[in-house]
Amino acid sequence: MSTSVESAAYTGEIVDSHHHLWDLGRGHYPWLQDEYDPGRFFLGTYETLRRNYLPADYRRDTHGYRVAATVHIEAERSRKQQVEETAWIEHINKLDNIPTAIVAHVFFTQPDRDEILAAHAHSPLMRGVRSKPVVAESARHSVKGQPGTMQDVKWLTGLATLEGYGWSWDARVPYWHLGELADTVRQFPYILVALNHAGLPLDRSEEGLKQWRSGLHAVASNRQVTLKLSEFGLGYGRWDEDVIQSIVRDCVAIFGFDRVMFGSNLPVSSLSASFDRIVRTTIAALPLASAAELHGLFAGNARRFYRIDAYAGAAALS
């Protein structure tokens, strides 16, 4: 069952749990500024992203919606500038009241990991870390047990350090690693985990989605995990409306309304759909949802997960 996005609207507040900002003149973003390689990017061509994306651009893209607070997720700035990215985002917050919270970067295996984490901790906006484990290039391959994977003792030791800060981990792995992710987070019951991009169900075939759902069930069995309803696009601008609505329903059915949160993934998501289309697609997928359930999905759950005060952030970014 699918519902037309033309009839789907949402007028409540939004706490965007996942977006990015960058200023190519203030920092180095290798994936945007160095050799252009759409073949290695999971969404294919991304030429339109190779420009500054600042609060004014975010406001333009979300115009017409009541975005009350946002969470900035590390944008793969040079790994020599991890702390500088956090400092820059905090500076942007002071100028524009956006974003409201920060999820920064550190490699769990880098030699100066503890120093980088301590430096991030100086920012009052810090809420968590996104550190991507080494993953296989497809469901047909395996890297299990290799350095930097979710079985690497050194990597696991790094993940464990988040508990001391009270920070969450933003986990971004493709669907073929969800079973391993479930095994990993089970070892850390006191570290909150945000599963990025609905577990990246990149294979939309019947068999691919079956494998994704199985992995999602395994991850959801860990109550400290919350799923982000974000980035449903596929390579080269593909946006499968009916399939995406089905994916949204599966996510809610598996995790429940109390453990899913909306994320725009702007500006990356603009390669496939506008902010308005993303919101409308999400709403259209859930025609029987109550007002309270929708508020949790679009705002309340993200406020709770990232510890965003109800009075924090811009009351009207759009």
> What domains are defined for the chain?
25-305 (3.20.20.140)
d(CA 31, CA 50): 9
d(CA 123, CA 113): 17
pTM confidence score: 0.95
What residues contact residue 107 under an 8 Å CB cut-off, 6+ apart?
A: 79, 113, 131, 148, 158
> Tokens 């997720």 identify what position?
73
2 has pLDDT over 80: no
Per-residue pLDDT band for 9 (boundaries 50, 70, 90) equals confident
Mean pLDDT of 103-128: 98
- For residue range 112-124, what is the model confidence (pLDDT) as tens digits? 999 999 999 999 9
Mean pLDDT of 105-111: 98
Percent of the chain scoring above 70 in pLDDT: 95
What residues contact residue 124 under an 8 Å CB cut-off, 6+ apart?
A: 90
Q: Are the beta carbons of 28 and 77 closer than 8 angstroms?
A: yes
Nearest 10 degrees: Cα torsion 269, 88, 148, 302: -50
